[in-house]
Structure 1
């Protein structure tokens, strides 16, 4: 199984915009540097800003002193949350959550340098509600950075998981039916939500996903979608690959949570960056390549 570092690699600052909680990071590996964009909360009742931190080794990060994204619009007045970043061509595209205090909306922003971001409006404002979520609630999205059949795809949502398509990575249309649902009696029995950006292999699309059961324990699973028909799930892990274990994962701002959003593939070593109890950033590793991990997890 994945090997966790026993202590967080990023913790709240003593003061400032991230003095309360730091968690749910996206990590990009650029020119032999690890660039982390993380959800940051201070003491002002705003649920999120986006902070940035840099590292040479992927473990020891130095924070940028100011947030790189802050709430501006009505639909994000209570916070911007949970960044997931991919590079599409010459630009970086971030999906994030805009929260107005009632509805969590999937939003998108674009940057050339990971510091200055241009935001768009929420992607699917009239998305239908369901058993867990009100109308308009879409929350999160994870974009595959390669095109399939001439289009980018994105897995999104946080009750079920849906799929959306785009020619440019900015403007999206979604398919009405979920492509993945919770499973009764399993670790993912209440809800499922995309984790980091999906990974394309020779015959599959690999999606690490977050989940919760009826006891609101958050764990991480793996699903393999068909490469040519990306709405079809081929296989899902029977057991989670990450679950809360350490005290800082079991108790925090929200107890019993590990929430994966960052993934870096170094070839013979895989790095998984996750939020612990909605308060810290943790790191888990796999010593081997992605093929060996998938063979171990799903056979």
Structure 2
């Protein structure tokens, strides 16, 4: 698949002028808030696996399809819903990779107190096998930021779909960012909790936390480009979430070698400045589709939007 020879940093991206592209609807499971989507291209369509919930704030994962990347048709029922104690308060914030015909969906299982990175697999996006939390109890991705408080907390995992030196790599974390390796995509060995590969930058737009965004893009010169999220305290709100990027070399897959020092997306519109969690742009999906990069993101945990980058267009410079 041609991707117009991506280079770091990817972009510039421009928000789609008709955002939001998906909103809550009706009085059902997606009636209150709809946001934070995974994205993948299948059969010349963009598929979004998005988080949504009603007023109870118990999240489910829904599925929407689009022939143009901007206008989506939603399935009426969620494709993933809480079933087990560790996810009793929600299946949140999915990311997806397809490997050898199998979809590997990482998501946050939340029980009201503890967030844990979970894994589910499917061959059709509708019937899922849940493999439960995939990191050890007691692993806290905020420990390098806030100190080790003896709790379990892990979120946000993206799987690079090709092996590197015989192993698959998972990049994960909220607070700081870490990696894990696997030979079978089901059982993962994380790096030590006190050795993250990326941490917040004091005095910067991401000084409170960093969090992994979308699965990486591979460049011709051997880099993995990651969309990431960062946050600091807002001037008039609890948080200010923005979107950035960093790069890792394939020949050194545990070291960040380049980072954007300014965000490529920040809250600007009414939907991004006001919502369930105000002042948020939060990217989780990135695809190459019909000659353009499409980055899908949540707006203040309430609506869903897209930004685009068309390589070679002068007005994108």
TM-score when normalising by structure 1:
0.93
Report the secondary structure of 1:146's partner residue.
strand
Deviation, 1:33, is 1.1
Residue 273 of structure 2 corresponds to which residue in structure 1? Answer: 250
Residue 82 of structure 1 corresponds to which residue in structure 2? Answer: 93
Which residue, out of 158, 168, 185, partners 2:174? 158
Residue segments in structure 2 that go unaligned for 5+ positions in a row: 1-11
Question: How far, CA to CA, are the matches of 2:273 and 2:176 in structure 1?
Answer: 25
CA contact 2:139–2:154 (8 Å) conserved in 1? no
Residue 64 of structure 2 corresponds to which residue in structure 1? Answer: 53
Residue 210 of structure 2 corresponds to which residue in structure 1? Answer: 192
Question: How far, CA to CA, are the matches of 1:268 and 1:54 in structure 2?
Answer: 18
Question: How far, CA to CA, are the matches of 1:14 and 1:134 in structure 2?
Answer: 41
Deviation, 1:248, is 0.4
**Which digits, 9 at most, give the CA deviation of each residue in 1:72-123, with x for residues without a partner?**
0000000010010000111000000000001110000000011111101201
**Which digits, 9 at most, give the CA deviation of each residue in 1:122-176, with x for residues without a partner?**
0113243321776220112011111111111011110000000011212110111
Residue segments in structure 1 that go unaligned for 5+ positions in a row: none
**Which digits, 9 at most, give the CA deviation of each residue in 1:16-48, with x for residues without a partner?**
1100001000111011011111001112x2431
Runs of 4+ in 1 over 6 A off after TM superposition: none
Higher mean alpha-carbon deviation, 129-138 vs 166-175, is at 129-138
Deviation, 1:270, is 0.4
Task: Say which structure, 1 or 2, has more relative contact order (CA 8 Å, 6+ apart).
Answer: 2
Question: How far, CA to CA, are the matches of 1:140 and 1:27 in structure 2?
Answer: 14
CA contact 2:69–2:289 (8 Å) conserved in 1? no
CA contact 1:208–1:223 (8 Å) conserved in 2? yes
1:11 and 2:23 matched: yes
Residue 210 of structure 1 corresponds to which residue in structure 2? Answer: 229
Question: How far, CA to CA, are the matches of 1:77 and 1:175 in structure 2?
Answer: 28
1:229 and 2:241 matched: no
Residue 102 of structure 1 corresponds to which residue in structure 2? Answer: 113
Higher mean alpha-carbon deviation, 128-137 vs 242-251, is at 128-137
Matches within 5 A, 1:36-75: 36-43=48-55, 45-75=56-86
**Count of paired positions:** 290
TM-score when normalising by structure 2:
0.88
Higher mean alpha-carbon deviation, 199-208 vs 161-170, is at 199-208
CA contact 1:88–1:169 (8 Å) conserved in 2? no
Residue 122 and residue 282 in structure 1: after superposition, are their counterparts in 2 closer, same or farther (change >3 A)?
Answer: same
CA contact 1:127–1:138 (8 Å) conserved in 2? no
Deviation, 1:225, is 0.8
Question: How far, CA to CA, are the matches of 1:99 and 1:283 in structure 2?
Answer: 26
Question: How far, CA to CA, are the matches of 1:218 and 1:114 in structure 2?
Answer: 30
Q: CA RMSD for the aligned pairs?
A: 1.5
Residue 2 of structure 1 corresponds to which residue in structure 2? Answer: 13
